[in-house]
Amino acid sequence: GVYGRTASLRLGLRTLIAQLEESSSDMAITRMAITVMRLERALARHSAQRDELQQGLLAAQRQVDHFGRYSPQVIGRLAALYVATLSRLKPRVMVTGNPQMLQQDAIVERVRTCLLAAVRSAVLWRQVGGRQWQLLVHRKQCAMLARGLLTGSTLDNG
């Protein structure tokens, strides 16, 4: 699959469950998720950026094959791809955090790479029929599905 084994999604699934189930969910994460979904819609309307993104992802895959998935070269390429494509669209994703950390180039590249992955996930969500309103209206069902994936990932020890 796109994400590899389900086990690699544990942290994300736990965060999603907490966001959907807890009344004290982190509003910054909620705002960012909504902004990412809106950015995915903007990307769908801009074929030039979409094509550039697709070509860039193919080139990045070649780098992954050569350097490895988490190499600085791959992260740098994906971050540059985010800047060249998605950062030019609106809405802009606003990242808050420790200013000293956010001034470090390596951290900025990781954040941009994660934002690119988030938008890619939003594209996949939409391709399987997912909509933004479903996360709001069907919170319990989405949390239950995420919990099922999380439970399944612990059963296969993978």
- CATH number assigned to the domain comprising residue 119: 1.10.3890.10
Tokens representing 119? Answer: 């938008």
pLDDT-derived band of residue 153, with 50, 70 and 90 as boundaries?
low
* Among 19, 4, 149, 124, residue whose Cα is nearest residue 69: 4
Is 1 inside any structural domain? no
Q: What are phi and psi of 25, to 5 degrees?
A: -65, 155
According to the model, what pLDDT value does residue 158 have? 46
Is 101 inside any structural domain? yes
What distance in Å separates the CA atoms of residue 46 and residue 58, rounded to the nearest whole number? Answer: 19
* Among 154, 157, 141, 152, residue whose Cα is nearest residue 16: 141
**Structural domain range at position 117:** 6-155
Each residue's pLDDT tens digit, 74-94: 999 999 999 999 999 999 999
Total number of domains in the chain: 1
Each residue's pLDDT tens digit, 90-101: 999 999 999 999
Each residue's pLDDT tens digit, 14-56: 999 999 987 767 888 889 999 999 999 999 999 999 999 999 9
